[in-house]
Amino acid sequence: MRIFAIIPAGGKGTRSGFNLPKQYLKINGKELIAYTLEVFQKNRSVDEIIVSADPFYFKLLEKIKKKYSLSKLTGLVKAGKERQDSVYNGLLSLSAKARDIILLHDAVRPLLPVNVLSDAIKTAKEKGNAIVCIKAKDTLIRGKNLVEKYIDREDVCYVQTPQIFEYSVLKKAMDKALKDEFSGTDESMLVQRLNEKINIVEGSVFNFKVTSKEDIQLLTKLICSKDSSPPIF
């Protein structure tokens, strides 16, 4: 059984007002995606890493691979129009067997804790799949300008990545989604359409997705020393 990590990195970040895609912003002199890739490079269970990206950034990714000795980064594939397309392109590029494990992780979640990744891989090996989530802690409401309804947070979770599935199941789910012209917000939604039960693994607040400038500022504080300058936008 081999474990492949697919990192969809085709996002452009234009809605957030960045000068370039968030995954390539430098934090303390190092590209954000490099931090993400190092998590999987250092994990003994992961065999190969595939990145789905805009071909324009392939040369930069090759430089990152060399600079940070990312030997497990074995493939760069063209990103699709949507995240789902990027993951599918990555999946099609693999020479994987039915029971091999496919691990999917956002390029802009660079602080994935080692124990969370290990727990997710262990659960996927034992039960066939795993998704990382954190339980809702705050009061939840529905509404825009006015409160319309309070939502019971007891059984509500925020879904993170990684999400991990057996190759044959994920491939079947993505083939079906393509055939049905169904677009999901994540891969677990596609797999659940096969009536598969999805296993939840506890995540971490540190495993946040970098989306806004405020997220970059938080990431900078967590990564950089006190004397480091914040990134310039």
- The single residue listed with the structure tokens 């079906």 is 176
Ranges of H-type helices in the chain: 32-42, 58-67, 83-92, 114-127, 167-180, 187-192, 213-223
Cβ-based neighbours of 42, under 8 Å, separated by 6 or more: 114
pLDDT for 122-131, tens place per residue? 999 999 999 9
CATH number of 3-223: 3.90.550.10
Six token digits for residue 102? 């496919």
The pLDDT of 33-40, averaged and rounded, is 98
In percent, how much of the chain has pLDDT > 90? 83
pLDDT at 5 over 60: yes
Which residue pairs from 20-25 have beta carbons closer than 8 angstroms and sit at least 24 positions apart in sequence?
21/54, 21/57, 22/108, 22/210, 22/211, 22/216, 23/107, 23/108, 24/57, 24/60, 25/216, 25/231
pTM: 0.92
Give the tens place of pLDDT for each residue, 37-94.
999 999 999 999 999 999 999 999 999 999 999 999 999 999 999 999 999 999 999 9
For the chain, which residues make up each domain, given as ranges? 3-223
| Burial profile 39-58: b = 16 or more Cβ within 10 angstroms, e = fewer | bbbebebbbbbbbbbbeebe
Q: Which residues pair with 48 in a beta bridge?
A: 4
Average pLDDT (208-233) is: 77
